[in-house]
Structure 1
Amino acid sequence: MKIQMEIESNKVEKVAAQSDWQVIETYFNVLNHIISSIAAVYMSFLCYSTGYKPISYHSWLCTIGYQLLMTQAILALYSENVWSKQHTRQTQKTIHWVLQAVGSSTAILGIIIQYIDRSLNSKPHFSSTHSIIGLIAAIFTLIGMFNGISALWSIKLKNYVRPVYSKLAHNLHGTVAYSLGMTALSYGYDQDYMQAYSREDIRMWLQVLLFFSSNLTLIGASRAALNHYRNAKNYKKTQNESMEPVK
Structure 2
Amino acid sequence: MAMTQANSTSVLQQLEAALNVLNQLCIGFVTIWVSWTCLRTGLQGIALHAWLVTFGFCFLMAEAMMCFYDGNWLTLRYTRKQKTATHVVLQLLGGGMGVAGCLIQLIRDDFTISVTVHARLGFATFVLCLISLLSGLLAVLARSMSRCWSPLLNKTVHVVLSFGTFVVAMLAQYYGYTQAGIFKSQGQDFVILIQVVTLVMMILTCIGPMKSLYYKFESIAN
Structure 1 length as normaliser, TM-score?
A: 0.87
Q: Displacement, 1:22?
A: 0.6
Higher relative contact order (CA 8 A, sep 6+): 2
Quick check: 1:133–1:184 contact (8 Å CA) kept in 2? yes
Aligned to 1:24: 15
Q: Displacement, 1:196?
A: 3.9
Quick one: which of 142, 145, 157 aligns to 1:154?
A: 142
Task: Show the 5 A alignment for 1:112-151.
Answer: 112-119=103-110, 124-151=112-139
Indicate the percent of aligned positions where both proteins have the same amino acid. Answer: 25
Letter in 2 for 1:133: L
Aligned to 1:76: 67
1:124-170 deviations in Å (ceiling 9; x for gaps): 53321101011111111111100111111111110121111101100
Q: Do residues 228 (structure 1) and 216 (structure 2) align?
A: yes
Letter in 2 for 1:82: W
Q: Displacement, 1:102?
A: 0.6
Q: Displacement, 1:226?
A: 1.1
> Closer, same or farther in 2 for the Cα pair 1:195/1:217, shift >3 Å?
closer
Letter in 1 for 2:10: S
1:16-49 deviations in Å (ceiling 9; x for gaps): 1101111111011011001101111111110011
Letter in 2 for 1:158: S
How far, CA to CA, are the matches of 2:29 and 2:47 in structure 1?
Answer: 18
Kindly report structure 1 stretches of 4+ aligned residues shifted beyond 6 Å. Answer: none
Quick check: 1:58–1:113 contact (8 Å CA) kept in 2? yes
Quick check: 1:194–1:203 contact (8 Å CA) kept in 2? no
SS of corresponding position for 2:206: helix
Structure 2 length as normaliser, TM-score?
A: 0.96
Q: Displacement, 1:197?
A: 3.0
> Closer, same or farther in 2 for the Cα pair 1:52/1:195, shift >3 Å?
closer
1:39-88 deviations in Å (ceiling 9; x for gaps): 11111110011123210000111111111111100111101101101111
SS of corresponding position for 2:71: coil
SS of corresponding position for 1:168: helix
Letter in 2 for 1:102: L
Aligned to 2:80: 89
How far, CA to CA, are the matches of 1:52 and 1:215 in structure 2?
Answer: 29
Quick check: 1:188–1:194 contact (8 Å CA) kept in 2? no
Quick one: which of 214, 219, 225 aligns to 2:207?
A: 219
Aligned to 1:52: 43
How far, CA to CA, are the matches of 2:12 and 2:134 in structure 1?
Answer: 35
How far, CA to CA, are the matches of 1:199 and 1:104 in structure 2?
Answer: 30
| Gap runs ≥5 in structure 1 | 1-9, 235-247
Quick one: which of 12, 21, 24 aligns to 2:3?
A: 12
Aligned to 2:56: 65
Quick check: 1:130–1:188 contact (8 Å CA) kept in 2? yes
Bigger drift between 187-196 and 39-48 goes to: 187-196
Letter in 2 for 1:155: R
Aligned to 1:39: 30
Quick check: 1:168–1:225 contact (8 Å CA) kept in 2? yes
SS of corresponding position for 1:154: coil
Quick check: 1:76–1:92 contact (8 Å CA) kept in 2? yes
Aligned to 1:240: none
Number of equivalent positions: 222
Q: Displacement, 1:192?
A: 3.5
